[in-house]
């Protein structure tokens, strides 16, 4: 058992799969010699060599085109898109090629590839390097969307993503890179599509993912101590596939749903969760479905403004307190 940061877990996860399968390769901008812009891939070049850990030109289109071709010929490539915002310059490859190839070939061609990327805000990187794009990815049929919140989950979910026969967008929340957690020795594999209940409570259900998980847990603790409001906190872990059954069972028991989202509120993933809950268990609800999300604006670079934009522990506590009466 070791205590790893989320940053260290990235290297551990990639190495686990590269040791297991010689068909796994890894490429991206500065991922080899420099050890990654976030220093999450240090040591991989030394262990696996330049034929499997490959520095690429600054061209996201070239990176994704290369891994798409590689996956079609039997490899299981991993690519790093440095910041998730940069998917905007290569989104056609994801949406119109990767997401549709298996369907359009009637299953004759699979694309077992992973696109990992630094996602989200909180680090003062400004509007073009801080977006949380999970709602972009979730809207595209044919790709899977994964977002771990703990080092152990990162290793386990990454393993399942690499072994999956469909394209996976793997979102690493940049604001969590320094956070630490215990990770056991040996191989770790966590199934995609299974949420984790991080805290049990009887009065309300908080559904969240990524950076918002530790904030929701802190908010739930405060609500219990100060207001006597007991909350269950669900970490979705994957958005596609979505563990709707876990959400429905828990919300049915508590009668209240609050989603906490880093993505902008308009067309965020919480709207889909709310729609499913309203369709399936409307008569089990004791109050309105409430979404706590980032406003529909570009993220500011100024620290004080960014902190007021992304849902904070205080904002979560105050919203739930008011809505619970």
What is the secondary structure of 155-176 as a DSSP string?
A: HHHHHHHHH-SS-EEEEEEGGG
As given in the structure block, the two tokens for residue 105 are 């070939």
pLDDT for the residue numbered 325 = 85
**Maximum pairwise Cα distance, the chain:** 60
pLDDT for the residue numbered 312 = 98
Q: Cα(316)–Cα(318) distance, rounded to whole angstroms?
A: 6
Q: Cα(99)–Cα(208) distance, rounded to whole angstroms?
A: 25
Q: Is 221 a catalytic residue?
A: no
| Contact in structure between 177 and 5 (CB atoms under 8 Å) | yes
Q: At what angle do helices 151-163 and 6-20 cross, to 10 degrees?
A: 30
Residues whose CB falls within 8 Å of the CB of residue 14, separated by 6 or more in sequence, listed in order: 26, 41, 44, 78, 158
Tell me whether residue 262 is exposed, middle or buried, using C-beta atoms within 10 angstroms of its C-beta: 0 to 12, 13 to 18, 19 or more: buried
Residues whose CB falls within 8 Å of the CB of residue 186, separated by 6 or more in sequence, listed in order: none
Q: Among 301, 316, 224, 222, which residue's Cα sits nearest to residue 262? A: 316
Q: Cα(124)–Cα(303) distance, rounded to whole angstroms?
A: 6
pLDDT for the residue numbered 142 = 97
Domains identified in the chain and CATH numbers: 2-183 (3.40.50.970), 196-323 (3.40.50.920)
Active-site residue (options: 12, 76, 129, 174): 129
Q: At what angle do helices 244-254 and 269-281 cross, to 10 degrees?
A: 60
pLDDT for the residue numbered 256 = 98
pLDDT for the residue numbered 203 = 98
Residues whose CB falls within 8 Å of the CB of residue 38, separated by 6 or more in sequence, listed in order: 7, 10, 118, 174, 177
pLDDT for the residue numbered 187 = 97
Q: Cα(210)–Cα(121) distance, rounded to whole angstroms?
A: 11
Q: Over the chain (325 residues), what is each successive 10-residue block's mean pLDDT?
A: 96 98 98 96 98 98 98 97 98 98 96 98 96 96 98 98 98 97 97 98 98 98 97 98 98 98 97 98 98 96 95 98 94
* 319: preceding bond cis by omega (within 30 degrees): no
Q: Cα(223)–Cα(320) distance, rounded to whole angstroms?
A: 8
The structure tokens 């995609």 sit at 192
pLDDT for the residue numbered 183 = 97
């Amino acid at each position: 058992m070791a205590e790893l940061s989320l940053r260290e877990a990235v290297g551990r996860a990639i190495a686990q799969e590269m040791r297991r399968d010689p068909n796994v390769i890894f490429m991206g901008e500065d991922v080899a010699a420099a050890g990654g812009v976030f220093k999450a891939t240090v040591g991989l070049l030394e262990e696996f060599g330049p034929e499997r850990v490959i520095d690429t030109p600054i061209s996201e289109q070239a990176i994704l085109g290369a891994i798409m071709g590689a996956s079609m010929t039997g490899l299981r490539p991993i690519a790093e898109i440095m910041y998730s915002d940069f998917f905007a310059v290569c989104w056609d490859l994801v949406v119109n090629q990767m997401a549709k190839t298996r369907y359009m070939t009637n299953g004759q061609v699979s694309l077992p590839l992973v696109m990992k990327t630094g996602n989200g805000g909180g680090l003062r990187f400004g509007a073009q390097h801080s977006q949380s794009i999970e709602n972009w990815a979730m809207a595209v049929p044919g790709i899977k969307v994964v977002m771990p919140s703990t080092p152990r989950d990162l290793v386990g979910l990454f393993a399942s993503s690499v072994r999956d026969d469909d394209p996976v967008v793997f979102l690493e929340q940049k604001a969590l890179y320094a956070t630490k957690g215990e990770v056991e020795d040996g191989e770790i594999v966590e199934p995609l599509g299974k949420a984790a209940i991080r805290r049990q409570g009887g009065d309300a259900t908080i559904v969240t993912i990524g950076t918002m998980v530790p904030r929701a847990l802190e908010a739930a603790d405060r609500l219990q101590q100060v207001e006597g409001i007991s909350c269950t906190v669900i970490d979705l872990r994957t958005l596609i596939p979505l563990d709707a059954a876990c959400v429905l069972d828990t919300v049915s028991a508590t009668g209240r749903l609050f989603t906490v989202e880093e993505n902008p509120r308009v067309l965020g993933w919480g709207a889909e969760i709310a729609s499913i809950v309203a369709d399936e268990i409307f008569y089990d609800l004791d109050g309105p479905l409430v979404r706590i999300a980032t406003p529909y604006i570009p993220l500011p670079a100024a620290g004080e403004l960014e902190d007021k934009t992304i849902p904070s522990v205080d904002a979560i506590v105050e919203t739930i307190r008011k809505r619970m009466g």
